[in-house]
Amino acid sequence: MGNNDPKGDMETRKISVETTPDQRSGNSNLPNFLQSVRLKYVKLGYHYLISHGMYLLLVPLLGILFVHLSSITTQDLILLYNHLKFNLVSVALCSALMVFLGTLYFMTRPRKVLLVDFACYKPKPEVMCSKELFMERSKEAGIFTEENLNFQKKILERSGLGQKTYFPEALLRVPANPCMAEARKEAEMVMFGAIDDLLAKTGVKAKDIGILVVNCSLFNPTPSLSAMIVNHYKLRGNILSYNLGGMGCSAGLISIDLAKQLLQVNPNSYALVVSMENITLNWYFGNNRSMLVSNCIFRMGGAAILLSNKSSDRKRAKYQLIHTVRTHKGADDKSYSCVFQEEDEKKQVGVALSKDLMAVAGEALKTNITTLGPLVLPMSEQLLFFVTLVARKVFKMKIKPYIPDFKLAFEHFCIHAGGRAVLDELEKNLELSEWHMEPSRMTLNRFGNTSSSSLWYELAYMEAKGRIRKGNRTWQIAFGSGFKCNSAVWKALRRVDPAKEKNPWMDEINDFPVEVPRVVTIN
């Protein structure tokens, strides 16, 4: 996660927020995953396209049938009637065929999943935590060694976090008071704050919500967080409620995918998705450096998203969900254990990050984007990519691999603000511009790593900047423990007018982008 070099200078040394500090001589960069694509991942993408796109074959057939029927004249109908009135077999067969095709189309056609609106929680100024205040509270805890206090200070300086991130009230007190009651208080503050804003924006009544999906990785009380929401808003008794725990920073998109699948089989429904993380009980009070980095970069935040499959919501909805692609590398032991919650030698619980984390992340990202490629890339890009891939893998030709230009598939990118190092490497590997990376970098600077909700702060940033136009496509990509990498693709159904928006950025959007010092890696 970093470089344990006390002589490191901010301009000449780089502490990665995604690798352990023990690897001073190792390469902390993400592997260039687009340079070593495996053919099986491309097959996954095309298999996904075929298995989820069979209904598309029926659309042209029905279209041809409709065009043919529209050209029939009255004389044709009379001739057809005279031909069929004494031929009951032909009438029965034609009728059965039309009923079969119509039934098959409507049964296999997936319901469109619409994002009506979303809201991100903005804590009160009283819990704002500057870097100096964070270090002051860390020192006052009386637990960390002087060496590890300096280590945390270096992590903060190189993390990409700004001076206005938010920390739980219980951890800002002197002495800190991390207990179950305070953790519940933080969860209620974040969840209810985001949901209140969402219901006010959409005008939807709590009783109208039929599906609830909540994800929080490390805090899983009993009753569950989803039960807390049901109780607070008095949601209806037959609500489909799900609480996802232990699934890391990519769980927000897992929740979206689960809600999408539930909406496919429950017509005329609203789905509420709540994504957050809880810090109060998960601040690490120990001196294991592989567990200390999460203290420095994770901050308080959360988001609530309202999805719908009602055709009547299309006019007011902001986005339509086009694709979700999930990649899970948990079958591999190295991937499974690279982010691991455990006790240190003094029985203090923390999340340990392996030195293999960056390599694991690169492999998961490579699999995910290669699977996603056939679904979103223009045919010209797919053809060039596929030809060069086959030439290299099948015919063993020594040619330079073709790197698809994902900027041709998406106008906007929401990359999980997990840390500066990963953002730097993804910018380089995907050949993105500073403009494309701005939402992720500014979210990291202003709100820190808010885990699974960071993608929504990034989308809110784009809306506040007035960047969202009708037809724009946005790619959300996140990764987390397990190891998982997940993607979601959204299409804007209308222009989002920032003058009519209410989100955490609106009262200060003119202050962004801010200058974020870049670090240089010395090999």
- Could you report the per-residue pLDDT of 405-424, keeping only the tens digit for each? 899 999 999 999 999 988 99
Q: How confident is the model at residue 27 (pLDDT cuts 50, 70, 90)?
A: very low
Q: Which residue has the higher pLDDT, 23 or 431?
A: 431
pLDDT of residue 87: 73
HSE-up of 364 (CA within 13 Å, CB side)?
30
Q: Is the pLDDT of residue 48 over 60?
A: no
Q: Is the pLDDT of residue 31 over 80?
A: no
For residues 213 and 199, what is the distance between their CA atoms, to the nearest angstrom?
Answer: 16
pLDDT of residue 23: 38
* Catalytic residue check, 232: no
Tell me the residue type at 268. N
Stretch 468-495: mean pLDDT, rounded?
Answer: 97
Q: Is the pLDDT of residue 52 over 60?
A: no
Q: For 73-87, 183-197, 385-399, 432-446, which range has the lowest pLDDT when averaged over its residues?
A: 73-87
Q: How confident is the model at residue 516 (pLDDT cuts 50, 70, 90)?
A: confident
Residue 498, Cβ density class (10 Å: 0-12 exposed, 13-18 middle, ≥19 buried):
middle
Stretch 77-93: mean pLDDT, rounded?
Answer: 73
Q: How confident is the model at residue 167 (pLDDT cuts 50, 70, 90)?
A: very high
pLDDT of residue 14: 36
Q: For 31-45, 429-443, 457-471, which range has the lowest pLDDT when averaged over its residues?
A: 31-45
Q: Is the pLDDT of residue 495 over 70?
A: yes
Q: How confident is the model at residue 400 (pLDDT cuts 50, 70, 90)?
A: confident
pLDDT of residue 90: 72
State the catalytic residue, choosing from 29, 120, 368, 416.
416
Q: For 13-17, 395-399, 470-474, 517-521, which range has the lowest pLDDT when averaged over its residues?
A: 13-17
Q: Which residue has the higher pLDDT, 51 or 461?
A: 461
pLDDT of residue 351: 94
* Catalytic residue check, 68: no
Q: Is the pLDDT of residue 12 over 50?
A: no
Cα R_g (the chain), whole angstroms: 26
Q: For 26-40, 211-225, 318-332, which range has the lowest pLDDT when averaged over its residues?
A: 26-40
Q: Is the pLDDT of residue 460 over 90?
A: yes
pLDDT of residue 61: 64
Instruction: Give the pair of three-digit tokens for residue 470.
Output: 């009708």
Q: Is the pLDDT of residue 335 over 60?
A: yes
Q: Is the pLDDT of residue 7 over 80?
A: no
Q: Which residue has the higher pLDDT, 248 or 83?
A: 248
Stretch 20-27: mean pLDDT, rounded?
Answer: 38
Q: How confident is the model at residue 386 (pLDDT cuts 50, 70, 90)?
A: confident
Evaluate whether 245 touches 216 at the Cβ level (below 8 Å): yes
pLDDT of residue 8: 40
* Catalytic residue check, 83: no
Evaluate whether 424 touches 444 at the Cβ level (below 8 Å): no
Q: Which residue has the higher pLDDT, 305 or 70?
A: 305
Percent of the chain surpassing pLDDT 70: 84
For residues 53 and 109, what is the distance between their CA atoms, to the nearest angstrom?
Answer: 9
* Catalytic residue check, 249: yes
DSSP helix/strand/coil, 145? coil
- Greatest CA separation found in the chain? 98
Stretch 412-438: mean pLDDT, rounded?
Answer: 93
Q: How confident is the model at residue 75 (pLDDT cuts 50, 70, 90)?
A: confident
Stretch 178-182: mean pLDDT, rounded?
Answer: 97
State the catalytic residue, choosing from 282, 368, 449, 472.
449
Tens digits of per-residue pLDDT, 223-275?
999 999 999 999 999 999 999 999 999 999 999 999 999 999 999 999 999 99
Question: For the chain, what is the mean pLDDT?
Answer: 86
Q: Is the pLDDT of residue 220 over 60?
A: yes
State the catalytic residue, choosing from 296, 328, 368, 503.
328
| Burial readout 316-348 (b: 16 or more C-beta within 10 A, e: otherwise) | ebbbebbbbbebbbeeeeebbbbbeeeebeeee
Return the closest-CA partner of residue 368 out of 406, 321, 417: 406
Residue 266, Cβ density class (10 Å: 0-12 exposed, 13-18 middle, ≥19 buried):
middle
pLDDT of residue 36: 52
Residues composing the chain: 523
pLDDT of residue 22: 38
Stretch 196-214: mean pLDDT, rounded?
Answer: 98
pLDDT of residue 24: 36
Q: Which residue has the higher pLDDT, 60 or 320?
A: 320
Stretch 168-180: mean pLDDT, rounded?
Answer: 95
CB count, 10 Å around CB of 512?
17
DSSP helix/strand/coil, 484? strand
pLDDT of residue 19: 38
Stretch 49-73: mean pLDDT, rounded?
Answer: 62
Q: Which residue has the higher pLDDT, 258 or 49?
A: 258
Evaluate whether 16 touches 30 at the Cβ level (below 8 Å): no
Q: How confident is the model at residue 1 (pLDDT cuts 50, 70, 90)?
A: very low
pLDDT of residue 3: 41
For residues 261 and 169, what is the distance between their CA atoms, to the nearest angstrom?
Answer: 37
pLDDT of residue 110: 83
* Catalytic residue check, 368: no
Return the closest-CA partner of residue 3 out of 147, 155, 144: 155
Report phi then psi at 372, rounded to 5.
-75, -30
Is this prediction's pTM over 0.85? no
DSSP helix/strand/coil, 377? coil
CB count, 10 Å around CB of 200?
11
Nearest-10 crossing angle of helices 454-464, 251-265: 80
For residues 252 and 248, what is the distance between their CA atoms, to the nearest angstrom?
Answer: 9
